[in-house]
Structure 1
Amino acid sequence: MSKVIRIGTRDSELALWQANTVQEKLETLGHNTTLVPVKSAGDLVLDKPLYDMGITGIFTKSLDIALLKGDIDIAVHSMKDVPTQLPKGVVKTAVLERAVSTDILVHKGTDFLEGKGTIATGSLRRKAQWLAKYPKHKMVDLRGNVNSRLIKLIENDWNGAIFAKAGLERIKLLPKDAVALDWMVPAPAQGAMLVVALEKNTEVVAATASLNHTASDIATAIEREFLRTLEGGCTAPIGALATIKDDTVYFKGCLHALDGSTFVEVIKERPLGKVAGFGKSCAYEVLERGGKQLMEDIKNELNNTVH
């Protein structure tokens, strides 16, 4: 296409790495592109009609607005940050080949693991799963982009902090002694990058669709269907991972109490050709086996915390 594709991205180092990756792939295919870094939602005035379009993601809101206003042609996201319901008129055009989905512990020595310790994370899922394994540990809140979170870990007397391995690898900040948390079920779509565009912008949709990696698209769709069915609009400690091997999809999903004291887990497999509704059926099984009450408890607890 002759038109220059404007690639919207947040302006953190990791977000820019992701956008540059998409830019390189599109340029290789012969498309002209330009990067458009967009400030976070806090820098923008959000008018009511845009809220009515179903924008909910705290990390994606500013890019959604830029897309809907026509300031950018596509947006590049960390897929795990994207709400399962996209704004009206916005469509998924590509899921790039997924990187490793593992969580890791960045630490100042691991002697504390068998005793008392303080671990930092802003994720309900990571907190709940960590407390399920290490109930004696104290959890502290940690927010911000990858770089600022690493600096906060250095500056505070915490024993460690939990990160997505893919994020640190991508910007070459992965410590050699980081501990892989293979027992921790990742966030749905962790390690995957998503490209979205306006549905009516058919030229751009077609151009970016060629970047889609089918296996990553299928796996993340199952995980996000599991998430959407369980959540019902409520944030909760939900983990999900679908892996494809030899024409079989292997799925593991879990829902934890906020304090990690109880959880419901599902482990299933299904032929690759029969995955329609797989994530939903796994979520229903979790709900039937105690997940429904657990979700009610989580909602009540979060509401009490807010109020």
Structure 2
Amino acid sequence: MDKLDCMRTFAAVAAQSSFTGGARQMGISTKLASKYVARLEEQLGAQLLNRTTRKVTLTDTGRAYLERCLPLLDQFGELEDVVQLRQQELAGPVRITAPTGLGSRELVEALHTFQQAHPKVAVELVLSDRHLPILEEGVDLAVRFGALKDSTLVARKLCRMRRVVVASPEYLAAHGEPAEPEALATHNCLLLTTAPQPEVWAFGRGSGARTIPVGGSFRANSPRAVAHMAAHGLGIARCPHYTALPFLRDGRLQVLFEKQETDPITLYAVYPPSRHLTARIRALIDHLAAFFAPA
């Protein structure tokens, strides 16, 4: 049983105040995490954690040990990075989470080219349309739209993406093309339920910004589903540009109110604060920034 693994597991359990959370962060079973920490305590001849049915807390000795343990773990990580960079070969696991729409296509394309260049990096992609708690879920990196709400995390901007209002030529031929956003009240609007206010669409910027109430017969929590339904002629949708792009290219959708678009949404790479990021995670963030920059 490697002492370094025991130390890493102890640090993860302490950070999560839970053997279950620490084990998830380490990618091991709760039983094994408990075994690692018990082995470390046995080697040290001291109790590091107080265990109750509800919570795990640090003893005074455990707190002092953790303060000295974390810098050592960072240094070990840096040593591994030095070897990897010298060999020009990145290796190891990366757990990344992203929204379903972006993650199932655009992000997969970015990860594909990254793993082609670094085949020894093992990526686990977790797709979810809710924000997974990064520390609790043992996530190394999250790709997210919108402003960072958790001040304990770090965010790097990857790109800004337009939000477009789109409709199919068939729908517009049958129902008429709205001349102004206010005319959307008479149209079937397809609603994205993950938006802060699905039934209110914003237009314009600065002093010219305004909001328009909308409604319709279809709503979904996936922007790609909304774009697909608009391409099939059901109604008018408002969605991120990347979801509509394939249909815009083949003519199945066209953009409305282009000169009245609201501010773009920002895509971020989000990760836990740390004195040290592994070389593979830093390299992946740099790769994503380069991949999404043209957007």
TM value normalised by structure 2: 0.47
Bigger Rg over Cα = 2
TM value normalised by structure 1: 0.46
Larger relative helix fraction = 2
